[in-house]
Structures are given as C-alpha cells and as structure tokens.
Amino acid sequence: AQVDTLALTLANLASSRIAPDEAQVIEAELKAGRVGFSPDNRDQLLRLKATVERSRRLAGDFSDGVLVQLAARAETLGRALGVAPHAIRVFAEGEIRGHLVFQLAKLASTLLRRLRAQLAQPPWDVLVTGHATGRFTPATVLGELSPGAEPLVVLLAQAEGDEEIPAGVAGIILAHELPHLSHLGVRARQAGVIFVSCEESALTEDLRRHAGRWVLLHATPEGVQLGPAADTQTAARPQSVAAMSIPAVQLRPQASVLPVEKILPSTGGNKADGARRLLELAARRDADFTAPAGLVVPFGVMEQALRSDSKLHAHYSALVGCVNELPPGEFAAATVQLRELVARLPVPDEIKAAVVREFGRARRLAVRSSANSEDLPHLAGAGLHESVIGVAAESVAQAVSTVWASLWTERAAASRRQASIPHEAAHMAVLIQPLVEPELSFILHTVNPVSHNPRECYVELVVGLGETLASAAARGTPYRLLCDKESGRTTLLAFASFSHELEVQPDGRLVERRVDYSRFPFTTDAALRAKLGARLAIMASFLERAFGVPQDVEGVVRGEEIILVQSRPQQGIPHSA
C-alpha cells in the first residue's frame, strides 16, 4: 500500500509540473518493480530500495531549491518588517511542510526504514574499517578544516568525491551516500582514515550532540559504533608525514609523442605503462577483455616547452620554489598562476599529426594525466589531475595543455605538500586513447576493500561514462557486486539509483541523460548480472596474477565486450610485491 501511495504521490507531482520528468521515471520504476514482486526476494527488495532512495532525493532537491529561493528573501523582508526571528526562520520550512513533496519525503523515509529492516541492513555504509579517536567536529566540506594539533572525527555534510583529506582527520562520517570506489574513498584507504556514510538524516543530526567532545569511532563490515572516548590522553595525535619518494623520470624524450607500446614508467608514468601492460595482456588467449591502443606525450616534452621561453621558465621556477611557504589564500592563488603559465606553453604540432594518423579526425578521444606521482603502490593520486573526455583530434593540443596544467591543481599541489613530495620532482606525461562509449562503466577492486577478503572482488558500476562513479559529484549509489573469485558466484549488494548518466555528444560535449532503470537490462535481468559478475571474478584473478599485487581496475562494458582502460595497485591492501 505504501508503494502504491508513493506512486500516486509522484504522479500528482508530475501533474503539478514539479520535476515532472524525474517523477514520471521514478513512477515507472515503481510500477515495473511491482510486477512479480515478492518480499522474500532480496534482489527485488534492493531494487525497490534504490527507487525509493531516488524518490527521497527528489523531495530533498525540491526542498533545497525552495530554501535557496525563499530563505534569504524572507530574512531580508522579515527584518525590514520587524517580524520575530523565529517566525522568519520557519517561513520557508512552513512552505515545504505544507507541500505535497513533504509527504513524499515522509513516505520515502518510512519505506526506507522498513526496507532496511527487512534486508537486515543498518543505516550505516562502511567504506574503510577500523577505529579512530578524535575530537568530534561537524563540517560542511573538508576544505574548511585546517590541520591542527589534535586528531578529528568529522561529521561531513557534503562530499564531491575529489577532495583531499586534510592532515589530522582520523575518521569521517558522511551524511549522504558515496560510491565506495570513488577517488575520496581510495584516498581514505590510502591514508588509513576510517570512513563511513549514513543515509538516515535523523541519525546524523543526533550525532551533533557529540560536537566538541572526544569520541571513538569504530567501524567494521557488520556495523558502526560512536561514543565517548574513554581516555583522550592516549588518543593518537596526527603524526608528521615522512617525505614520500616518487620515481625519477627521463626528461630527454625520444620524440614528442610515442605509441603506448614503447612506454616505460620512467618515460610515461605508471598510468601509461599500465595501459601498455593491459594492451599486452589483452592479446593473450586466456584474457577475457580488450584494451584500447594509445599514444603518450612523454616526460620532458612539457619541460622542453618551458625552456623554450626563458622569461616564462624563470617565473615558473621562482613560483615553484616558494609556493610551499605561502599561507593558504596565497598558496591557492600561486597554483592558479602556475596553471596559467603552463597553459601558455606551446604544444608541439607533431602531437596532433600523430593523433590524426593513429585515430583519424572523427574519433573522439580521452586525454588523461600520467604523472610520476600517481598510480603508485603507496600513492594512488586518484582524481588529483585532470582528464579531458570527448576530445576531437583538432583540439588535442588544448587538451594536452589542460592536462599539463593540472600538475598544478590546488588539490594536486596540496597533496604533494602534505606528503612532503618536492614539487620540482613531479612531472606530467599525457596518455591519449580513443574514447570508448559504454553501456556500463565500472571500477573493480580485486580484493574486497572493506573486509580485505582476498577471495572476493568488489565492483561498482554505473550506466554511461565512469566519471559519475569516480568523482561521485552526483548524488546516488552505483550497482554493487561482490564476486567470489573461486566459484564465480555473484552477490548483488545494491542497485543503481543515480538519476542521470553521462554521455558524449557528437560535438564532444558531455551531457546528462535521465536514466529509467525499468528499461535497463542490467536492472531487469538477473542472469545478465550473474554472467558479468562471473566474468569479472575470473578477470580479477587474471590481473592479480599478471601484476603481482591487488589491482584497482577501471573499465567499460559494451554488449558482450569488456574493455579495460586502467589498472593500478589497490590502496589500503598489503602488497606482496
């Protein structure tokens, strides 16, 4: 009955022209999910849960929009008219509570509680296990926190998935869902930061009562506990970070652009070298995947361009030499200046000519960073630098310039400073590959990142391009699979609930397209999910044997084809090699 009421509420909203496209799609998903529904079928319950989560997000987005439009105006007008402050505060809230969307939010929240109870799922989602002690600190975003003398357990309102975790943060409780394998999740595992999310807003609000107190956050695959720390004197303090070494590189390139088959880590970085190794592995008879060819702008080409302009080179070197000594505001401004300087560098004409010869003028490209400070066993560097997706051959020089300049994104520079990596030791190569337009994109960890069970690989998938998954800028959850590498058995952990997929238009623009999961085979066909999961389990074992350590893999699915675009050492897992 509650599901029927929810569907009727959505139909009413659509008729009222309130998010009509989204409301209609969610209503269609609810109706499709009712066909043959059994409360004893776990997959069907998980599918319904994803749709209800989408409903609650619609209500939340509408409420946020009302607050943005009304709250500030009500504040200004109320003060001018002498209205009591408490009356001003409840004006916008009253507008929401009197609206049908408030009933949608209540229905969705009630249904989610029932579904979690039926699925025996806690409201917590554990991304990184362990325990952390620190002062409980509510924050809107990680960027507002400053490194201090004491460890922090942070209640975080918002995360986009690409942030750097400030030194001193021992634990994070995030007040919304986040893909486990997003860049932020990878960084937390790398740094050993305990990380959980909570989808129950009433619970996260209740946690605020701990603000300013010392707490112990304990997270296991089975659940989460938060309570007063028994002894703040023994709490771990932030430790000084030892200087982290990164590989030396060759800065005398053979040419301005090389085929990926000729690349080594010292000439093109670990990401480009990983692409080379995937291409070699894909040629083996026992490989159940393909990999794209590629070109690489090797280390040293950017430096040659810098040396070609002595005045620009001198300005660049002076900024690099002093940037770490600058206060936060000036540090950020200096990184902007450095990016602007790099963006002025000439990109050799032979790069475009080689791209046209290799891929043609019509093919869209992915132009990616391959720095010597990323994709390392001890340092992932996930999301620190830029990738440019959907690039035309005519625009490849501009894309290469953008990737070079991303050596100086504020988050990349801050990450090097935090890890005590000398800026002058960091160099940027560029990997250029044909863009694969997928049905599904996925990130796979060959060892379960939560339980560390080596027999299980963990996969998150989204419809369309994988940027939705890696950056986690969009709200929602991906498909989640747990695959047994010995038996091939696949356990579905969650259905996708993102409202949009990302796709590339013929002109290269990235656009959002609304997803109706009731029409998408991976949602509706359990046999298809089981078949793909079994293939990914075999592939995970294959890659672990080939690379010698657990892997963090990015790839896409197109029809029956699995295409791998990246493989690097998995973070947060002890490596044997």
- Rounded Cα gap, residues 177 and 197, in angstroms: 6
Phi and psi torsions of 9, nearest 5°: -65, -40
CA dist list (Å): 337 to 162, 320, 398, 403: 21, 10, 18, 15
Spatial CB neighbours of 430, under 8 Å, sequence gap ≥ 6: 296, 297, 367, 368, 369, 370, 400, 403, 404
- Rounded Cα gap, residues 31 and 27, in angstroms: 6
Helix, strand, coil percentages for the chain (3-state, nearest 5): 45, 20, 35
- As a three-state string, the secondary structure of 212-247 is CCEEEEEEECCEEEEEECCCHHHCCCCCCCCCCCCC
Task: Specify whether the CB–CB gap between 429 and 297 falls below 8 A.
Answer: yes
Label the pairing between strands 130-139 and 152-156: parallel
Label the pairing between strands 223-228 and 295-297: unpaired
Phi and psi torsions of 514, nearest 5°: -65, 140
Spatial CB neighbours of 330, under 8 Å, sequence gap ≥ 6: none
Annotated active-site residue 385? The verdict is no
- Rounded Cα gap, residues 175 and 560, in angstroms: 37
Cα–Cα–Cα angle for 425, 429, 433, rounded to 5 degrees: 160
- 176, 180, 183, 385: which is the annotated catalytic residue? 183
Q: Name the β-bridge partners of 553.
A: 444, 567
Spatial CB neighbours of 121, under 8 Å, sequence gap ≥ 6: 115
Q: How many residues does the chain have?
A: 577
Catalytic positions are: 183
